[in-house]
Each structure stands twice: as structure tokens, then as C-alpha cells.
Structure 1
Amino acid sequence: FHRRFKSLRKRLKLIPVKQRPKERYPGEWKKYWDITQICSYPPEDLVIEATSDYMRKKAALVISEEMRHFEPFTTSFLDGLDIRETVRNWHEKRIYVYENQPLRGKVGSLVVIFDEDIHDKEGEERFPWKLTWLGEHKDESDMAFYATNPGDDIVGPGISRSLYGGFMMTYPPMRVYDIWQDSFFDIARNKPERLLLAAIDYCEEKHIAYVAKKPPSDLCIRLAAKVSKKVIYIPIGTFSSKALKKIQTFHVLSGKHVRKYAKDYIF
């Protein structure tokens, strides 16, 4: 015989959901905001550094593919069979193989442009805040960016949420002068160009990664070539929208003491 078991009853199970604290009265958190002592939120620093490293590796892969050499098979398969070239030249009835050329130089600076922020007819900017931030320790890059104004979106006492319009990162830290005040970059016609010119100037490697909707301007490409550097363009659509949104949103804190409780408001 078959033993019968009572079916388990279906029950609703409570799932703990972290809720952001609320103001006791409108404007309570605003009074804790002080733009004179701002700093970043460390967990977000780790995320953007990791994502930047991934983008640099992606740029290095693009360079490697551009340098790949292919030729008809004779006596050696070299680094492998090149199926694409074999199919493309199928009428020749020959097999093509490829050889990877050694990468000369590394990818140093990185520029990511989410929005070019071209002024409208009234001259208004969506990302008016321009800043240069130096790395706090040896594992952080120097950074320059333009973003939405801090203090416009207060999400906690002394905590403001902003969006990057674009940013530049370069390593090692503690080297970058305020690029928005540096007259050396005044030839730039817009914010993305200024970031890219700074990335070229401060880059200690041969290659600069440029992630944006549009390719870099001819001006930047020519100036990079003059100093024996190369700008590697990667369409921003190559990366997932979820990952991009994660690094475009960031928080600014009114002093390092805010870091002690910021996790209760940022999630």
C-alpha cells in the first residue's frame, strides 16, 4: 500500500525588508548638509574602482583584437584557426590562421560619458557640478567629474544623492590638479572633451579608454597621437544598463563622521 502524507499548508512568510528612515519633519535632514566638508561613500568607491578595472580590461581586449594578425595556413596553426577569415575567403579554398601580437603598453586613464550635457538654448546645464577628487589612499584613483548639484536630493542627515554626467579616472593618485580650473585644457569645447584631454595628459600608460555613446573628437585623437598615446573607444551600450546605473548614481557625505551611519540611508 502507499502511505499517504498530509499535504503541507501554504503559509505566507514575512521577508525582512530594510526601510529607509524618514524625516520627523520636512527639511530636518537638510540642516545637516554642509558642502564645505564633503567626502565620498567608501562602498561606492570600491564598486566604481572595480567597474573601472573591468572597463580597462575590456579596452585592452579591443586593442588585442585590432592587433591580431591572420594569414593563410602553410606550416603552422600559430595561435589557432581563424574561422571568420576562413569563411570570408572561402572562395580561395584555403584555411586561415591567426597570431596574437604582444600588447605594447597598458590601459591607464578611463573616461566614461553618460550624458554630454550640451547646453540648451537657455544655457541651462543638467550636470552643473564640476569637481576634481583626489584618491584617499594608494588603491584609489584620482577622479574628475561633472554631476548634478549636491544638496538637491537629500536622502539622509548629511547625505546627498547625485548622478554623474561623466567622469575621468587615472592612477596613481594624488597627481591631478583641478582640471576645471586648469587653463591648459581650455581648448576643450565641452565637458567630455575636457575630461578626455585631462585623461590623456595625466595618463602614465600608452592607452586611454573612452566609454561613451559617441566616439572621441578628432581634436583629442590628434593630441593623443602627438604624445604617442592612443584613445580606445568603447560604445557605452556594450555594458549592461544595470551596471551603468549602479556606477552613475553616487552619494556625497557632509564629512567623514557621516560614514558611521550612512549605511542606514544608502541601499
Structure 2
Amino acid sequence: MVYFVGAGSGAPDLITVRGARLLNQADQIIYAGSLVNPELLDYKKESAVVYDSAKMTLEEVVEKIQEAESTGKMTVRLHTGDPCVYGAIREQMDELDKLNISYKVCPGVSSFCGAASALNLEYTLPGVSQSVIITRMAGRTPVPERESIASFAAHHATMVIFLSTGMLKKLSEELIKGGYEADTPAAIVYKATWPDEKRVVCTVATLAEAAERENIKKTALIIVGDVTAQAGYERSRLYAPEFTTEFRQGTDGFVYE
């Protein structure tokens, strides 16, 4: 069996209980060494064999999995954050399907959740934004034209932008081109939940300047939108005294059926 396990956003105690248990049971661990906190390997058993996928191709990863499967051993494929976000897991699963190798996924805490916790931020403030767009700038890996930064910016929703720290000047231009005002609140979170985490609050126009000042060049998330200012929101209706729910009668006279 192969388990795709989300390592969490950085701090070793943010892996799930299930993920830690699977790490401890694994005979072989293939982990994203360029992104995953190596302290997570402390969960492994002494006999486990470890490979760093940062130095491997897809074919080499699959070969190691095949070798383990041929001797009845269990593999954990340890991905940063949650595997479903920029984890390149579909291509691995397709190769395993061809080989009739079974696999399961164990979710993890995505770095976009870690970044929100670093800022004490709620992405979905009533009256400000009720949608979160997770995306990235086009670079060596292309992005469909219909998913351009500018086209998403037109919605004025909360945006969480991955894998774009090296293109912040262009990112600012695209955000403004799409409709964000230059002074729209923004934030940069470097290595969310790691010991050397950095949090920088700025504006859409000053993203590049803020990153340069803090010497942030990679491994950071960009958060854009009015929720970053954490102001001007409406109170949640769910907890308002006049709001009736299935569990509590409010003063609005509504009869829940």
C-alpha cells in the first residue's frame, strides 16, 4: 500500500494524528525534501528507508515504490501542506493505477491555512469577501489564460497566491490590471508555521518592495484582498440574537421547519 500523506504547513506537530501514525508504520518514506520540514522524519521507525524526492524524477519515485511493493513493504509519499494543492499527485496515482498498486490519501494542513493562522486572519469575512481564490502566477509552469491573475482579480474576492514570490512586481501589475486598487491590503507570509516564519503586511502596489526589504525570495504565500485589513466586516448572522437557527430561537419570529 502507498499512502500520500500531507505533512502540514511546516511545524512538525501540525501533521495529523493519522499522518504521524502512517509515518511511524512506513517501511519506506519518499518526501519532498525541498519543502517538508525534516523534523517530521522523527516520527519514522528506525528501519525505515528515506528518499528525498527533490532529487528524483516521477519515474524514479515510481520505481522505488515498485521495489517496496514487490517485497510487501509500505510506502509513505510525504508531501508538503495538503497533497491536493500543487502536490502533483494525480500523475503519480495514474502511474500506480497502471501498475495495479493500491494507494490512499491522508489530508494535511495546507500552507494557506498556516498563513491565515500566522496573521490571525479570517479569509471569509461577512460583507467583505465570501470566496477564496487559490492560484499562482504563470511561470515555467503555465497557467490557462482563462485563469490569469488579472481575470481573477476582477472578482475582488480574497486571493491566496502560491509559487509566485519571485515575480512580485509582475504580480502587482496583473492585480491592478484586473481591478484591484494599488492600495488594496495585502500580506506576504514566509514559511508559515516554521520557526523562521515572517509576516509582512503591505499593499498590492508594495508587494515587491516589502519582500525585498525582508529578503523574502521564495517559500512564501501572497494574500490579497480587503479581508487582510480585518476591518469593515459585518457580524455573523449565525450568532446574532435575532437570528433563528435549528438549535436556537431568535427574536426574528422565524419558525424553523
TM-score (norm 1): 0.24
* Bigger radius of gyration: 1
Higher relative contact order (CA 8 A, sep 6+): 1
Higher share in strand: 1
